[in-house]
Structure 1
Amino acid sequence: MNNCEGYDMNDLLLRTLRGEATSRPPVWMMRQAGRYLPEYMVLREKYGFFERCQTPELACEITLQPVDIIGVDAAILFSDILVVPQAMGLEVQLIESKGPVLPEPIKTRSDLQRVRVPDVHETLQYVFDAIQLIKKELNGRAPLIGFAGAPWTLLCYMVQGKGSKTFDEAKAFCYIQPDLAHELLQMITDTTIAYLKAQVKAGADTIQLFDSWAGLLSPEDFSNISLPYIKQIVAALKDEVPVIIFAKGAWYALEDMAATGAHGLGIDWCIKPELARKAAGNNITLQGNFDPAKLLSPIPVLKKEVSKMLNAFGNGRYIANLGHGILPNVPVDHARAFVDTVKEWGIAIAK
């Protein structure tokens, strides 16, 4: 169902993803609902992480905070990619300042027996309830982005059992037990498709797929381990809503990802805008690619750097964003300066 009908909404993001002409690029920031906002920290002190995710009223309040406080053009659902492994039967602990821990990771075929493709309405209904509540509260002020982790990235956590800079155990699992790895990847894919379709039915206006650890794979391994499953997910959703793929570090696969039929590609700061555009082609929207650490610069410097980025990408098929999630130590007025600079740039080019 198309959720932009029936009311006058700020649909800059959706129009940009569809390739329509807009007065300026839309702007939002990955991890915008979270730990750099004092209002979020108040809730973090009171409630555990999964309590925040699983209580629709809390997820709604947190999702709306950056729309109200810094004026972004899109809300992104407050949740976590690891709710999917959780729904599939694995225990997931999220320890503040330490990160995710999965105490019983998948190592063998017998371990795989503990994992299932669930009925998402039985295991993840709290997400869909949150989406319905958020849509009601947003009331057209901005579109809502739903999301999930890409299968390779979820496999990383499900096999490694914790965060890692290299995920060497997860990679070795794919190399040593390829049949088992592909079986698990397909189970994650089937769950993710059902999950995202239900997000759309509940009201998500667009979907972003996060392949946070894509850059750990060689081009050949990405084509074998990650891309086939991303393709399935995009194919299942692209006719219902615009789909954005963010495969961090996988600049080498921009052409292949553009060929999936996705509407948008997120890129990090390690590729020049002109190279990204050349690789992706002109029929897809690019999103990114400001280095989050640059948000710590003095505001005049920050604004100059944002303008430089905007000039490099131009105003066609482009969404202003970061190249990864916002850092927890970014001052709120710096985040607001990022957003305001995009809006001001739009006014300047319109004159």
Structure 2
Amino acid sequence: MSTDLFNDTFLKACRGEAHDHVPVWYMRQAGRTQPEYLKIKETHSLFDITHDPELCAYVTKLPVDQYNNDAAILYKDIMTPLPFIGVDVEIKSGVGPVIYNPIETEKDVEALGVLNPEKDVAHVLETIKLLRTQLNVPLISFGGAPFTLASYMIEGGPSRNYHKTKAFMHSKPAAWHRLMEKLGDMTIAYISAQIKAGSQAIQLFDSWVGTLSVADYNQFIKPVMVRILEEVKTDGVPLILHGVGTPHLMKEWKEMPADVIGLDWRTSIADAREIGITKTVQGNLDPSILLAPWDVIERETRNILDEGMKSNHFIFNLGQGVFPEVKPATLKRLTAFIHEYSADYKRTQKG
């Protein structure tokens, strides 16, 4: 396995060490807008791609090769481990995950099985090992956080309001905590196996946890998140927390054993620093801006960089994922601008 990196800027930023330019990568960066990926998707499903390590490695590397990003994120889905614990899930194009056996009772929770990563997701681990021999930037892998996974499992698919999930949480607290325990165990096993295979950073996507109040988060979610972070923590492997619509949870997140906090566009870097977050922050351009004229993109990006570069604890990213209408040329130009603008700034600071 290769451990020599030509570009370890991302890892230095995770640790708050000095580096020559601001590192950048984009959530959902693999595919979505790239013609090469779209061509593959004409004949291959997500399942097909992720079960073919050579093809999956190729798709994962595409954005690094084309945009010059400072990190790669493994191509897969947060649903990847769920079928192996008994969840009947299908990723439907234009819809997202659809669950055909949603959780409704404590009996449904108890019926969930146990993940055996080396057997169940061997294809994922093989892809990680392969990428470590091919990449010259760090490899980020990831998992879905328990609340976000549970919301799909209870709602039966994507939701705008999470009524069923919240009702289950409050009306069946014993079953809820048992579900969190099981999903926590699965996540720990899954993430630990990815780290062992060679992943150099881990991001936990708690995409929909922003729907909860602080009180509900502290009672129903925070304990399992702290347990996961504490148990998977490995020297030299940064842990990143990311959610959407989570400004009210930042005070809770700053106390948790994560190394990096992902911000969406609702929380400015200044606001994060104001409440005492000294950890590395990652973000936070609104992806909608990528459809605006270049002068708008440059202006908004410069504003974020000017705030973020006040500390070495900063990684540029979007506040959420790239969507299909974004042109690859825009992302390539954006990466180049971030690298050049931040490198000039850092040279000036040294001088």
With normalisation by structure 1, the TM-score equals 0.95
CA deviations on 1:278-309 (whole Å, 9 max, x unpaired) are 22422x10000100000111122211211111
Q: Report the counterpart of residue 24 of structure 2 in structure 1.
A: 27
Aligned partners of 2:284 and 2:318 also within 8 Å: yes
CA deviations on 1:15-37 (whole Å, 9 max, x unpaired) are 11111111221100100002111
Distance 2:242 2:5 in 1: 29
Distance 2:159 2:45 in 1: 23
Distance 1:172 1:69 in 2: 45
Q: Report the counterpart of residue 94 of structure 1 in structure 2.
A: 91
| Secondary structure of the structure 1 residue equivalent to 2:130 | helix
1:187 positional shift: 0.4
1:68 positional shift: 0.4
After TM superposition, the structure 1 = structure 2 runs for residues 208-223 of structure 1, keeping only pairs within 5 Å, are 208-223=203-218
1:4 positional shift: 8.1
1:216 positional shift: 0.6
Q: Report the counterpart of residue 228 of structure 2 in structure 1.
A: 233
Identity fraction in percent: 35
| Secondary structure of the structure 2 residue equivalent to 1:83 | coil
What amino acid is the match of 2:301? V
Distance 1:68 1:253 in 2: 35
Distance 1:109 1:256 in 2: 29
Distance 1:47 1:244 in 2: 30
Q: Report the counterpart of residue 142 of structure 1 in structure 2.
A: 137
Q: Report the counterpart of residue 329 of structure 2 in structure 1.
A: 333
What amino acid is the match of 1:214? V
Aligned partners of 2:210 and 2:249 also within 8 Å: no
Q: Report the counterpart of residue 308 of structure 2 in structure 1.
A: 313
Distance 1:4 1:342 in 2: 28
Aligned partners of 2:2 and 2:133 also within 8 Å: no
Specify whether residues 8 and 331 from structure 1 end up closer, same or farther in structure 2 by C-alpha distance, changes over 3 A only: closer
Distance 2:131 2:276 in 1: 33
Q: Report the counterpart of residue 84 of structure 1 in structure 2.
A: 81
Gaps of 5+ in 2: none
Distance 2:220 2:62 in 1: 36
| Secondary structure of the structure 1 residue equivalent to 2:140 | strand
What amino acid is the match of 1:335? L
After TM superposition, the structure 1 = structure 2 runs for residues 188-203 of structure 1, keeping only pairs within 5 Å, are 188-203=183-198
CA deviations on 1:212-257 (whole Å, 9 max, x unpaired) are 0011101111112222111111111223311010022222222221
Q: Find the partner of 2:170 among 170, 175, 185.
A: 175
Aligned partners of 1:266 and 1:286 also within 8 Å: yes
1:312 positional shift: 1.7
What amino acid is the match of 2:69? V
| Secondary structure of the structure 2 residue equivalent to 1:46 | coil
**Are residues 1:204 and 2:189 paired?**
no
CA deviations on 1:199-219 (whole Å, 9 max, x unpaired) are 011110010000000111011
Q: Find the partner of 2:108 among 105, 108, 111.
A: 111
Runs of 4+ in 1 over 4 A off after TM superposition: none
Aligned partners of 1:4 and 1:11 also within 8 Å: no
Q: Find the partner of 2:242 among 236, 239, 246.
A: 246
**Are residues 1:347 and 2:335 paired?**
no
With normalisation by structure 2, the TM-score equals 0.95
| Secondary structure of the structure 1 residue equivalent to 2:119 | helix
Aligned partners of 2:259 and 2:280 also within 8 Å: yes
**Are residues 1:40 and 2:30 paired?**
no
Higher mean C-alpha deviation, range 47-56 or range 170-179: 47-56
Specify whether residues 19 and 332 from structure 1 end up closer, same or farther in structure 2 by C-alpha distance, changes over 3 A only: same
Gaps of 5+ in 1: none
Q: Find the partner of 1:289 among 248, 269, 284.
A: 284
Distance 1:55 1:279 in 2: 45
1:112 positional shift: 2.1
Distance 1:229 1:4 in 2: 33
Q: Find the partner of 2:121 among 93, 100, 124.
A: 124
Distance 1:280 1:72 in 2: 29
1:8 positional shift: 3.9
Higher mean C-alpha deviation, range 90-99 or range 141-150: 90-99
Distance 1:99 1:262 in 2: 28
Distance 1:307 1:126 in 2: 40
What amino acid is the match of 1:347? A
Distance 2:276 2:232 in 1: 20
Question: Aligned pair count?
Answer: 345
